[in-house]
Amino acid sequence: DAKTTQPPSMDCAEGRAANLPCNHSTISGNEYVYWYRQIHSQGPQYIIHGLKNNETNEMASLIITEDRKSSTLILPHATLRDTAVYYCIVRSLYLGGATNKLIFGTGTLLAVQP
């Protein structure tokens, strides 16, 4: 699985959009970009994933560059409850019998300020 690079920390004002970048320059054609977040002292929570098209769900939007070497997770209206560590993970789809593991880096600590 390809390696990802994220800034260690970011601040965002409450109510504003939070844009979290991730570099994955060694991503291969069959690898997806996944985002998880971990609120303090809880287990990680799945947010969104994508291959090459932009994706949106009720939690966030994922923008993947055309060359797929980087992506941005967007929380459109950040709240204090969005304060968490956000992990960008690149991996291929699960194939039956293969090991279904996630390789976490150190992530980005997003601090939403009131």
Partner 1 sequence: ETGVTQSPTHLIKTRGQQVTLRCSSQSGHNTVSWYQQALGQGPQFIFQYYREEENGRGNFPPRFSGLQFPNYSSELNVNALELDDSALYLCASSSVRDSYNEQFFGPGTRLTVL
Q: Which of residues 17-46 bind partner 1 (CB under 8 A)?
A: 32, 41-46
Min dist. Cβ of residue 105 to partner 1 (A): 5
30 and 89 Cβ atoms separated by less than 8 Å: no
Residues binding partner 1: what is the number (CB under 8 A)?
25
Residue with Cβ nearer partner 1 (52 or 77): 52
- β partners of residue 110: 10, 84
Min dist. Cβ of residue 101 to partner 1 (A): 4
Triad 15, 19, 49: Cα angle to 5°: 115
Rg (CA), the chain: 14
Residue with Cβ nearer partner 1 (8 or 114): 8
Q: Does 57 bind partner 1 (CB under 8 A)?
A: no
- β partners of residue 50: 33
* Whole-number Å distance between alpha carbons of 104 and 64: 19
Structure tokens, 36? 């998880």
Min dist. Cβ of residue 88 to partner 1 (A): 11
Residues that bind partner 1 (CB under 8 A): 32, 41-46, 49, 85, 87, 93-107
